């Protein structure tokens, strides 16, 4: 059946900044875009300010909006996460026909997406939970998009998303991630990695500032240099911009007038909660989330500031450390810690994928994160290569290329953690990532002792290196060992 030209290929519900920028991106790429917002003001503003950028069909009721879409209808919801999203999904589902596709482009919790997909597919419609990264700018000029949901719906939706996504070497930063909640899960972990990435950059800045005594403008130059090498990434680039900014009012570096309490919207916390449930140590991400929480613990920080004993502190000069060498050591510690954060994030994605039978291909993620999103970085090409060479890689750290890199990084990494400790400067992600690394490669772990303790107080039993089976020592008896299985 041919359809009239006047119908829209895609619709956007919710025209706050993200929604209207996404709608404009579709329109600028030649699609007719149906737009609807609960209150008419945002719809009118979009048409008045940007109506000339392409073909928009504004509607003022959900029914008219749905009627303005060609079949199978495709509608992206960009409203507040939670109850608002549920309300809009239901309104759309009531007005749509079997085979139509509802896409949630918000930052939904993946378990909500799994639930919604079940409910919507039971009504004969397709539901796609799509993670969209890149912020307002990305939504307008090319985001990285992580759609989940049924593979079948990607056939109809994929080309549309590919047309608006960021492109790297001609490859669009979007692909079908996997069924139901896979897209939102992966977006969640992306954000978790982003937390760790930002924190390690923060720790590097802190050391250059307070260990090496460099000024923000000088540090900005260091980050610019780093951005020309292995660390080339969006976040390093914007860090240099932030550090160069001078406050117009006071003439001070802007960084010095910003309150040092980091906000968060919750995706980092979700990443850690999910990792706890899956039993995956995402220590870098966890420390990054906790570091933000600690920064906001104002009362405790005020009580502790200049009040808790420091022990004997050192200085770079006191330790006889050359500043230039230290800067290079910090760069290496940052790179190594970042590698750990990515390795842990990919571990979580693999565990989530196994748990939910999503069959997520890590290469897809590294590919579509190369552009559009906040963690875009040159180094993601290396991750694609690592998984190309060995799709079953036990850990990214074990890839021959990254292993080689770690060989050149690890001495610096250790020196930086030791120095930071001696200077009394906090480096939670640098230090915990190094401990993770040393735990992973350890011949023996104190877990044997923990098993002994558990057996002592709770008869939880232990396994032996030299024999099969479960064993218990009669701790409160004659301390002989019995086999328990």
**Catalytic residue numbers?**
187, 194
Q: Report d(CA 255, CA 247) in Å as an integer.
A: 8
Nearer Cβ to ligand ATR, position 35 or 69?
Answer: 35
For residue 250, give the 3-state DSSP assignment. coil
Q: How far is the CB of 83 from ligand ATR (least distance, A)?
A: 7
How many helices and strands (H and E) does the chain possess? 19, 11
CB 24, min distance to ligand ATR, A: 15
> Of these, 10, 15, 222, 373, which contacts ligand ATR (CB under 6 A)?
15
Please select the residue that binds ligand ATR; options are 84, 246, 384, 425, rule is CB under 6 A.
84
CB 373 within 8 A of CB 165: no
Can residue 16 be called a binding residue for ligand ATR (CB under 6 A)? yes
Q: 3-class DSSP state for residue 70?
A: coil
Residue 77: its H or E element? strand 74-77
Binding string, residues 318-357; x marks residues near ligand ATR by CB under 6 A: ----------------------------------------
- By beta-carbon proximity to ligand ATR, the closer residue of 82 and 469 is 82
Query: How far is residue 80's CA from residue 266's CA, in Å, rounded to a whole number?
Result: 14
Report the alpha-carbon distance of residue 143 to residue 137 in Å, rounded.
Answer: 8
Least distance (Å) between residue 40 CB and ligand ATR: 9
| Residue 88 sits in the site that holds ligand ATR (CB under 6 A) | yes
| Sheet containing 126-133, strands listed edge to edge, beginning at the edge strand earlier in sequence | 55-58, 32-36, 10-13, 74-77, 101-104, 126-133, 144-147
Q: Applying CB under 6 A, does 317 fall inside the site for ligand ATR?
A: no
Residue 203 CB, shortest distance to ligand ATR, in Å, is 31
Site membership for ligand ATR, residue 233 (CB under 6 A): no
The whole-angstrom separation of Cα 29 and Cα 21 is 12
Q: Are 33 and 55 in contact (CB under 8 A)?
A: yes
Task: Tell me how far CA of residue 214 lies from CA of 206, 208, 219, in angstroms.
Answer: 10, 6, 6
Does the protein bind ligand ATR through residue 37 (CB under 6 A)?
yes
For residues 146, 147, 148 and 152, what is the CA-based torsion angle, rounded to 10 degrees? -140
Question: Binding string, 52-81, against ligand ATR, x = CB under 6 A?
Answer: ---------------------------xx-
Q: Is 173 in the site for ligand ATR (CB under 6 A)?
A: no
14 binds ligand ATR (CB under 6 A): yes
Q: Indicate whether 17 belongs to the interface with ligand ATR (CB under 6 A).
A: yes
Distance CA(111)–CA(108), nearest Å, equals 8
Residues in touch with ligand ATR (CB under 6 A): 14-17, 37-39, 42, 79-80, 84, 87-88
């Amino acid at each position: 059946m041919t359809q009239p030209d006047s119908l829209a290929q895609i619709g956007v519900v919710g025209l706050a900044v993200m929604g209207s920028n996404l709608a404009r991106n579709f329109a600028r790429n030649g699609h007719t875009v149906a737009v609807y917002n609960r209150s008419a003001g945002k719809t009118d503003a979009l048409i008045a300010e940007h109506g000339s950028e392409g073909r928009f069909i504004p509607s003022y009721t959900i029914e008219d909006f749905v009627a303005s879409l060609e079949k199978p209808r495709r509608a992206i919801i960009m409203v507040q996460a939670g109850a608002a999203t549920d309300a809009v999904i239901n309104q759309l589902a009531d007005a749509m026909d079997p085979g139509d596709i509802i896409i949630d482009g918000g930052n939904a919790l993946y378990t909500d997406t799994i639930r919604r997909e079940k409910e919507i597919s039971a009504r004969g419609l397709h539901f796609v939970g799509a993670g969209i990264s890149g912020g307002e700018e990305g939504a307008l000029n090319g985001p990285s998009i992580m759609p989940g949901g049924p593979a079948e719906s990607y056939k109809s939706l994929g080309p549309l998303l590919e047309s608006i996504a960021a492109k790297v070497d001609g490859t669009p930063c979007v692909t079908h991630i996997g069924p139901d909640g896979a897209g939102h899960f992966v977006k969640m972990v992306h954000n978790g990695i982003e937390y760790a990435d930002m924190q390690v950059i923060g720790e590097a800045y802190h050391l250059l500032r307070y260990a090496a005594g460099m000024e923000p403008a000088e540090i900005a130059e260091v980050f610019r240099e780093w951005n020309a090498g292995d660390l080339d990434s969006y976040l390093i680039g914007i860090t240099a911009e932030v550090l160069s900014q001078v406050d117009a009012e006071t003439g001070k570096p802007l960084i010095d007038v910003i309150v040092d309490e980091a906000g968060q919207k919750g995706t980092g916390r979700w990443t850690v909660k999910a990792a706890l449930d899956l039993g995956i140590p995402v220590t870098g991400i966890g420390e990054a989330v906790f570091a933000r929480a600690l920064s906001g613990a104002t009362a405790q920080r005020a009580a502790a500031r200049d009040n808790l004993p420091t022990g004997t502190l050192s200085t770079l000069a006191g330790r006889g450390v050359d500043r230039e060498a230290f800067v290079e050591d910090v760069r290496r510690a940052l790179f190594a810690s970042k590698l750990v954060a990515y390795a842990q994030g990919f571990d979580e994605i693999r565990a989530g994928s196994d748990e939910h039978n999503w069959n997520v291909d890590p290469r897809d993620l590294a590919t579509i994160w190369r552009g559009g999103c906040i963690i875009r970085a040159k180094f993601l090409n290396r991750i694609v290569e690592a998984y190309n060479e060995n799709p079953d890689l036990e850990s990214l750290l074990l890839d021959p290329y990254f292993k080689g890199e770690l060989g050149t990084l690890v001495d610096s990494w250790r020196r930086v953690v030791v120095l930071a400790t001696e200077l009394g400067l906090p480096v939670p992600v640098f230090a915990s990532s190094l401990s993770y690394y040393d735990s992973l490669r350890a011949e023996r772990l104190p877990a044997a002792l923990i098993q002994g303790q558990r057996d002592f107080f709770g008869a939880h039993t232990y396994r032996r290196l030299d024999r099969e089976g479960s064993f218990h020592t009669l701790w409160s008896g004659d301390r002989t060992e019995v086999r328990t299985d």
